[in-house]
Each structure stands twice: as C-alpha cells, then as structure tokens.
Amino acid sequence: MFNIGIIGCGKIAQVRHIPEYAAHPQAKLWGYYDLNQDRAKELAEQYGGKVYPSWRDLLADPEIDAVSVCAANNAHAEITIAALEAGKHVLCEKPMATTLAECEAMVAAAKKSGKYLMIGHNQRLAKAHARARKLVEEGAIGDIVTFRTTFGHGGPETWSVDPGKATWFFDKKKAAMGAMADLGIHKTDLIQFLTGQKVVETTAVVTTLDKKGPDGQLIGVDDNAVCIYRMSGGAVGTMTASWTYYGAEDNSTILYGTKGIMRIYDDPAYSIKITTADGENILYDIDQIQTNDNQTKSGVIDLFMDSLVNGTPPEISGEEALSAMRAVFASIRSAETGERVTVKQD
C-alpha cells in the first residue's frame, strides 16, 4: 500500500487524481494541501486523510510515499524538486514547468533522488491513440508524410474549479503560458508518440485573439497556438491548440501516409478510420475521446501506481516529457521572433 499526498486540490485533482487513487487497491489517500484550506478539508472528509497547513508540512510527513502535484503551473518545479528531495515519488500535472531550465532541474532532481518523476501527458494513454501507434508501427498507412493534430475547446474558465474570467489559467504570473501549455503540450507529446519521431523544427504563431479578463482586456497568456512541426523522420504537419472553439471540442489527429490516411477521434462513430490508397475503409470502434463535459478514467494514476507497485520507471517520465517541452518553448520563441526555430533534442 502506498500513501499518497495531494498538493493542489483544484479541478484536475477532484475529477482525475483523487477519485482514481481512491479506486486503486494499492493507493491510500493520506493527505491534502491547497491554498483554499476549506477545499482541502472537504476532500479529506469525503475521501479520508488529513489536511496540512503547507505543502512543505505535507512533504515532511515520512508516512507519505508519493505525491500528485496539481498546483498552478508556476509552482510545479519548486514543489516537485522539494518532493523528490524529501524522498517522495512525484506525479506532476502538465505543463511540466514554466521554463526549460526548471524542467531540466526536475529531471536532475529525480535522478539524484532515485525517485520516480512522471508527467500527466494522458493523451497517449487513450485507447485509440495506443492502437493507432501500433497500426503506424505495423505500416498500416505506410510512412507518415504529413499530419494535423488539434485540441480545442471553449476555454478553462468553463472548467476551472474557480470558473469565470478570473480563473488562474488567465493569470500570467501563475500560469505563465496559455493554450499552448494547457492543450498544445498534450498534442505535441501525442504526435511524437504516434509518429515515433521528435519535433526538430517549429514555426509558430502563439497569440491572444479573443479571451478577455475581468477588466475587459485581452488576457496575458495565449488563447491560440498554431505550429508547423518538422519531425526527425522527415514528416511535416500542424499542431493547433485553442481556447476559442465555442462549440464541440476538437481533439482529433489525422495522419497522412504513403499508403493511406488515418483519422483518429475525427469521426463521431469510429475512433479510428483508415482510408487506404485504393479506397478501402477500415473502421475501428474502440472508445470515445474524453471531453471536459465527459470525464472518464484517464489511465494516468493507474500507470503511476503500476510504477510504484512494480518498481519500474514510468513510461511518461520527466525525461520523456522533456522533448515535448523543448518543442513548446521553441514554439513560443518562434512566435516571439517570427522565425523558424530549431528544437535541440538529445
């Protein structure tokens, strides 16, 4: 049995981390910390466990084996590094951190401590994405030439634990980045996962087009990002992240190969649809993609717990997440300079 601490008790903790730990036979929810102590107390009463006056007090408890870091983006690195130094395994929500140096420091801290660091990139765990990767590896559509991957919805103000225009997601100091870090990191990690290639060059527009804060002015972080990625294997495609899709969510990916086209979560009836070069349609009814309005089990907690129980490094380790974060920061730099930027991958 592993005792789990929750740092940050907002929406992602409430709908994903906490209930999924509660459902796992090897996890025990031991403690909670949140800036809003009443929120932490309510969760402790519901799921069991104690509330700590600070996250440092939580990390000082020797009974806690691992923590989920679900705090605001600007706190990820500090809390994660402190947790690893305190001998805790860490599952950190995305984006990993707000600078590349912070991300690298988190990875270094994990190596030094000998504890696991996992990042919550859940898109690759969706059943259709896992199947799509196998189909690509088997050559179902030949070599991938181009792609389009998109993640767009109406914005975090409709989903945040404190909904409305004052949500912390719009606060530059707390969030640092907007749609690119909230949604773009997911699709960047996903396209690398699906293609088996790394992003090595990006040309990007990362901008604020519509979202306004309580003062009626455009928010301080981006609400849209459109990136052209060149991959290590030669494929070129687009990654779009948006908080201004005021209607149904779009969480689709299309891969264009030398032997056909694969559409993933692009058809309401079939989670994967392959159209071969000779016109044959191959349909897969696997599952439906999660949306903000339809939350189901993410698989992230199960994967993290598998690592703890089996003593094996997590698939989505901090080191694995670094390559996608490099592409994100390079895209932001591309948008700032108006130039193509090379992504230096290890």
Structure token pair of residue 54: 């600070």
Preceding omega of 25 cis (within 30 degrees of 0): no
Closest to 229 in 3D by CA, of 191, 194, 185, 199 = 199
Distance, in Å, from the CA atom of 316 to the CA atom of 320, rounded to the nearest integer, reads 6
Which DSSP state fits 158? G
Please give the Cα distance from 35 to 240 (Å, whole number). 33
What do you get for the CA distance between the two ends of the chain, in Å? 36
Catalytic site residue from 11, 28, 88, 94 = 94
Please tell me the distance from the alpha carbon of residue 180 to that of residue 315, in angstroms, as a whole number.
Answer: 23
Q: Is 212 in the active site?
A: no
Specify burial of residue 333 (Cβ count, 10 A radius: 0-12, 13-18, 19+). middle
- Residues serving a catalytic function are 94
